[in-house]
Amino acid sequence: MTKKNKLKNIIITLILILVTFTANGNDLRITYLDLKNDYRYDENLLYARIQLKPTGRPLVAVKIAEDESKIIGDALDVNFILDNYSFDSVADLNNHINTNDQSFIFIVDLDTDNLNWLSQNILKKNIIIFNISSYNNSLRDVNCNKNIFHAIPSYNMLTDALGQYLIKKNWKKVIILEGPLDEDIEFSKSFKNTSKKMGIKIVDEKKFILSNDPRERENNNITLLSGDTKHDVIFLSDTEGEFGRYVPYNTKLPRPIIGTTGLTPETWHWSFERYGAPQLNSRFEKKEKNRRMSGYDYAAWISFKSIVKSVMKNRSTTYEDITRALTDSNLNLDGFKGNSLSYRAWNNQLRQPILLSTHNALIEKTPIKGFLHELNNMDTLGKDLGETQCAF
């Protein structure tokens, strides 16, 4: 039997199973929200194509997930309807959420500051919000919100993935180069937490500034910053990427670069070639011909898929049943990464593998074999139940 026929038989079997029930209601509206003048999508900031920066609006990925939902939707007798709106301010976006009677599910593309403001100012109670673009740790920890689910990984998950790789390679001595931005500082702080947890030694730590001023040589000269302290690798935290792209091959000693340049931790990567990933990348590139699928796109796509899976699981489109399904550790969401995905009940973070890649190749998928957890090995990435300060 050919692969095509096998896939056809699986789809037919799935439809036959699903047609035995009808969900409670025919229409389920899912609303995508963002800001019109989001600085992260300024073309002047995107030219370097930094790995941890978005490369385009993720709405197209949600539309792909909507298209993919039609077969299941027909079987469930549910119309998954996507609406999308852009606003001038987060206050206007929040007002839309609070006054919207058509939808209780929102996929939201906001930076950390705006998402944090939204989290503190939502008035509506029975809603579900998916965060698709903020890695901020505190939003999963002390500033968590039970209404917000995080489809994008946290910085803790990203740096833990790097930490596992360093342990695997026995590269345990690290120099940190940290930029001046809040995101640079948080990413660096997260790596320090990872290092402490995994027994990685920070042998030196230096702050850099983007400047050609010779009086600032100690803060802008890569050779001086990288120094000759004995080390195995350099961790670079430069979320804007302008300084970091010149670090490889300019260090005093020949050492690998990890972090925001060199080996980077990714939600998704175009070179991933297993578990249905090539097909998803292909569908994306047909819709969006001028760029490849990014981590933000993946988070947007998996958010919509999470809702569809939740409706399937509890055979219902109510807020209560969808929320119950989302927080079920047995959600068994297929995210084309080879592992069954689910949301952590203690902070609403999506468990998912992190991909370690260069600009043009996948190097490792984490969690790496040998990093074990008593319940779910993906909980070796990010804060575990006993470590969290989140209290819903």
Query: What are the extents of the domains in the chain?
Result: 3-155+268-353, 172-255
Residue 353 contacts residue 347 (beta carbons within 8 Å): no
Distance CA 366, CA 348 (A): 20
CA distances to 70, 277, 385 from 284, in Å: 17, 11, 35
Phi then psi dihedrals of residue 172, to 5 deg: -110, 0
pLDDT at residue number 392: 83
pLDDT digits (tens, 9 = 90+) for 4-17: 555 555 554 555 44
Residue 183 contacts residue 260 (beta carbons within 8 Å): no
End-to-end CA separation in angstroms for the chain: 50
Please state which of the ranges 216-220, 353-357, 383-387 shows the lowest mean pLDDT.
Answer: 216-220
% of the chain beyond a pLDDT of 90: 79
CA distances to 113, 141, 150, 177 from 237, in Å: 19, 21, 22, 6
Q: What is the mean pLDDT of the chain?
A: 90
Whole-prediction pTM: 0.90
For domain 3-155+268-353, give the CATH number: 3.40.50.2300
Average pLDDT for 162-180: 97
pLDDT at residue number 209: 84
% of the chain beyond a pLDDT of 70: 89
pLDDT at residue number 45: 60
For residue 115, how far is the Cα from the chain centroid? 15
Residues, the chain: 392
pLDDT at 217 over 70: no
Average pLDDT for 238-265: 94
Please state which of the ranges 12-21, 58-67, 177-186, 266-275 shows the lowest mean pLDDT.
Answer: 12-21
